[in-house]
């Protein structure tokens, strides 16, 4: 079992939201590997609500009626599933379960693609819908119109009917910015940032893993509080007893950016050097340059405060060395 490092502040904030009647779509955003999905899983196990955790990375709906739904399995599988959930005290489903005939009728256009979901959700216990990695819809057959319909459905569930909470999780903040504008969600959404873990928790974690204080501080100074990079550092420390992996983590990022810079110009170089020193306001950057840096996982854009950062502490170190 992987260790879960404290996210008390975020869990407290989320449970406050879930204890109130649903009234907005919540966007949980943060850089890649900052621990958003892990936090959602933790939340799901701590609350009594019925949770639908729909992961767009694991599923790839190509049509509107497939989004959020899963076909009801046969009888024996249903029995097995029921006991599995009981054993694990689980309240989490990976989609809204509908009869296959209903899904077929939705596919044929004989039923509205969302109406049956409302009835189903009304029968659940204070339901929470979590849509993880929603940016993957960009690569499916779902077009902008379908996406707007999905978002409007979430607004109906929350702000209009107050039937279910809706949480959208993503690291793609340009995508959020776009869909919030397109679907007119400004007055119907809230945002919550999930970033790196706090320093004190990390130093404790690293020392529990057997590192002395000097090594733990060194790891923090290179990777900061990014859970995934910390996890890599710990795995290497377990097998080698050292923290030599830090250098290769930074070097790998540096070579990747060097390579990318070969096919662009001086303004990209100036931009990444500036990113290594400070946050940059979005109005100072040409949208194309911003998109280049985001698509290549160099920068992270926070749509709430309008600032751009190096995507991780390790990346910041790599950019410093360029």
Ligand X SMILES: Nc1ncnc2c1ncn2[C@@H]1O[C@H](COP(=O)(O)OP(=O)(O)OP(=O)(O)O)[C@@H](O)[C@H]1O
Judged by the rule CB under 6 A, the positions of this chain that interact with ligand X are 2-5, 7, 30, 32-38, 133, 171, 227-228, 231
The minimum distance between CB 154 and ligand X, in angstroms, equals 20
Q: 9 is in the binding site of which of ligand X, Mg ion, none (Cβ under 5 to 8 A by kind)?
A: none
Cα 229 to the center of its chain, rounded Å = 17
Q: How near is the Cβ of 38 to Mg ion at its closest, in Å?
A: 8
Q: Work out whether 37 is an interface residue with Mg ion (CB under 5 A).
A: yes
Span of 3-11, 28-36, 185-193, 246-254 interacting with Mg ion by CB under 5 A: 28-36
Footprint (CB under 5 A) of Mg ion, residues 282-301: none
Choose between 55 and 146: whose C-beta lies nearer to ligand X.
55
Number of helical H runs and strand E runs in the chain: 14, 11
Q: Is 260 exposed, middle or buried (0-12, 13-18, 19+ CB in 10 A)?
A: middle
CA–CA separation, 146 and 305 (whole Å): 28
38 binds, among ligand X, Mg ion, none (CB under 5 to 8 A by kind): ligand X
SS3 category, 213:
helix
Could you tell me the strand order of the sheet in which 299-302 lies? 280-281, 307-310, 299-302
Q: Is 233 in the site for Mg ion (CB under 5 A)?
A: no
Q: Tell me whether residue 24 or residue 56 sits nearer to ligand X (CB atom).
A: 56
In whole angstroms, how close is the CB of 81 to ligand X at the nearest point?
A: 25
CB nearer Mg ion, residue 37 or residue 136: 37
135 binds, among Mg ion, ligand X, none (CB under 5 to 8 A by kind): none
- Residue 40 Cβ vs Mg ion, minimum distance, rounded to whole Å: 8
> Which residue, 36 or 313, has its beta carbon nearer to Mg ion?
36
SS3 assignment, position 16: helix
Which residue carries 């979901």 as its tokens? 117
Pairing mode of beta strands 307-310, 280-281: antiparallel
How far apart CA 157 and CA 152 sit, in angstroms, is 9
Residue with the CB atom nearest ligand X in the bound state: 35
The answer to the question of residue 189 lying near Mg ion (CB under 5 A) is: no
Q: Report the distance separating Cα 84 and Cα 89, nearest Å.
A: 8
Angle between helices 227-240 and 245-262 (to 10 degrees): 130
Q: Which residues bind Mg ion (CB under 5 A)?
A: 36-37
């Amino acid at each position: 079992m992987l260790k879960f490092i404290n996210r008390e502040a975020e869990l407290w904030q989320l449970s406050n939201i879930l204890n109130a009647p649903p009234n907005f779509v919540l966007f949980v955003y943060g850089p890649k590997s900052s621990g958003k999905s892990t936090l959602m899983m933790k939340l799901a196990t701590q609350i009594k609500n019925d949770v639908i955790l729909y992961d767009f990375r694991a599923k790839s709906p190509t049509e509107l009626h497939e989004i959020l739904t899963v076909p009801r399995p046969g009888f024996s599988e249903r029995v097995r599933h029921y006991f599995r959930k009981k054993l694990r005290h689980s309240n989490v489903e990976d989609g809204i379960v509908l009869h296959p005939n209903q899904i077929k009728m939705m596919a044929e256009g004989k039923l509205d693609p969302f109406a049956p979901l409302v009835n189903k959700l009304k029968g659940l216990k204070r339901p929470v819908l979590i849509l993880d990695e929603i940016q993957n819809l960009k690569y499916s057959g779902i077009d902008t119109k379908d996406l707007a319909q999905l978002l409007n459905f979430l607004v109906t569930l929350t702000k209009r009917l107050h039937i279910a909470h809706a949480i959208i999780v993503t690291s793609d903040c340009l995508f959020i910015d776009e869909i919030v504008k397109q679907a007119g969600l400004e007055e119907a959404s809230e945002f919550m940032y999930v970033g790196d873990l706090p320093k004190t928790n990390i130093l404790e974690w690293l020392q529990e893993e057997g590192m002395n204080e000097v090594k733990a501080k060194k790891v923090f100074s290179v990777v900061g509080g990014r859970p995934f990079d910390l996890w890599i550092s710990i795995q290497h420390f377990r097998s080698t007893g050292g923290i030599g992996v830090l250098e290769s983590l930074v070097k790998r990022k540096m070579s990747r950016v060097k390579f990318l810079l070969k096919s662009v110009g001086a303004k990209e170089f100036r931009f990444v050097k500036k990113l290594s020193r400070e946050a940059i306001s979005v109005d100072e950057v040409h949208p194309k340059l911003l998109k280049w840096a985001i698509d290549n996982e160099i920068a992270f854009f926070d749509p709430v405060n309008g600032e751009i950062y190096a995507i991780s502490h390790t990346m910041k170190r790599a950019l410093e060395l360029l």
